[in-house]
């Protein structure tokens, strides 16, 4: 995948969101399913205990990088007001390279050790992942993401190299270079939805933000969604 392909992929999903007059409940239910029902009813969303093992950058990013991402969150909040929303905590921002285990799967024997060996072998330590942000977007299910583009080319290349080991990694993987920022969890109404559309399009059309180098890759054992509970198993 080239960076042009990546932007086109972002835009395809972006366009799907704004083809409607508001967020649709059937789409938002996908997002709401990630939160404890009682917390949704109390309007203080708490993510569910879900077990994922994944390779990520960030956790945390540096303070300036966190601020770049928090600005996007604040812009969304300024428009949606008291609409039910969950924002990822700044210290939990991460850039997902590859998932080793999804919540619905069992952890295979020795897979962590084997994956560490593979990533150690495939990681190019002479080429650091260096991002710019092409604004942010909101997907039809309310998921808010920063649109990353890797200037080094190493991120997508590394993903491709480790995915060649298909006996280790599930086929279900992201094709993007995005950083999750949160989720809108209920419709906005037509007026706010249009305001949000304008904000999102403005962010995409603005000059890219120099996010910078994303630091060391980490293998993370996540036990609560959006890294609310996690343990770093290895750093590369």
Residues of the chain with pLDDT under 50: none
* pLDDT score recorded for residue 166: 84
CA distance 195 to 76: 10
> Mean pLDDT score of the chain, rounded to an integer?
97
* pLDDT score recorded for residue 139: 98
* pLDDT score recorded for residue 1: 86
User: What are the distances in angstroms from CA 37 to CA 40, 46, 125, 223?
Assistant: 5, 9, 43, 18
Which CATH number goes with the domain that contains 178? 3.90.1140.10
* pLDDT score recorded for residue 75: 98
Question: What is the reported pTM?
Answer: 0.96
Structural domain containing residue 75? 3-235
Runs of H (alpha helix) within 33-135: 37-41, 63-80, 111-122
* pLDDT score recorded for residue 52: 98
* pLDDT score recorded for residue 125: 84
The total of structural domains in the chain comes to 1
Which residues have C-beta within 8 Å of that of residue 4, sequence separation ≥ 6? none
């Amino acid at each position: 995948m080239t960076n042009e392909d990546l932007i086109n992929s972002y835009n395809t999903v972006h366009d799907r969101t704004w083809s409607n007059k508001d967020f649709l409940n059937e789409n938002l239910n996908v997002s709401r399913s990630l939160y404890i029902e009682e917390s949704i009813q109390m309007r203080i969303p708490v993510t569910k205990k879900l077990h994922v093992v994944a390779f990520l950058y960030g956790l945390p990013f540096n303070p300036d990088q966190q601020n770049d991402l928090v600005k996007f969150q604040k812009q969304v909040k300024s428009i949606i007001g008291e609409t039910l929303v969950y924002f990822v905590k700044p210290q939990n921002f991460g850039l997902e390279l590859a998932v080793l285990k999804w919540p619905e799967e069992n952890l295979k024997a020795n897979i962590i050790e084997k994956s560490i060996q593979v990533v150690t072998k495939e990681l190019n330590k002479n080429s650091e992942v260096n991002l710019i942000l092409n604004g942010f977007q909101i997907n039809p299910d309310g998921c808010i993401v920063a649109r990353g583009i890797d200037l080094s080319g190493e991120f997508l290349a590394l993903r491709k190299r480790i995915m060649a080991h298909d006996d280790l990694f599930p086929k279900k993987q992201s094709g993007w270079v995005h950083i999750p920022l949160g989720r809108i969890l209920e419709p906005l109404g037509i007026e706010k939805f249009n305001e949000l559309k304008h904000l999102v399009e403005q962010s995409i059309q603005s000059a890219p933000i120099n996010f910078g180098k994303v630091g060391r890759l980490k293998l993370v054992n996540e036990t609560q969604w959006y890294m609310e509970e996690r343990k770093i198993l290895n750093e590369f």
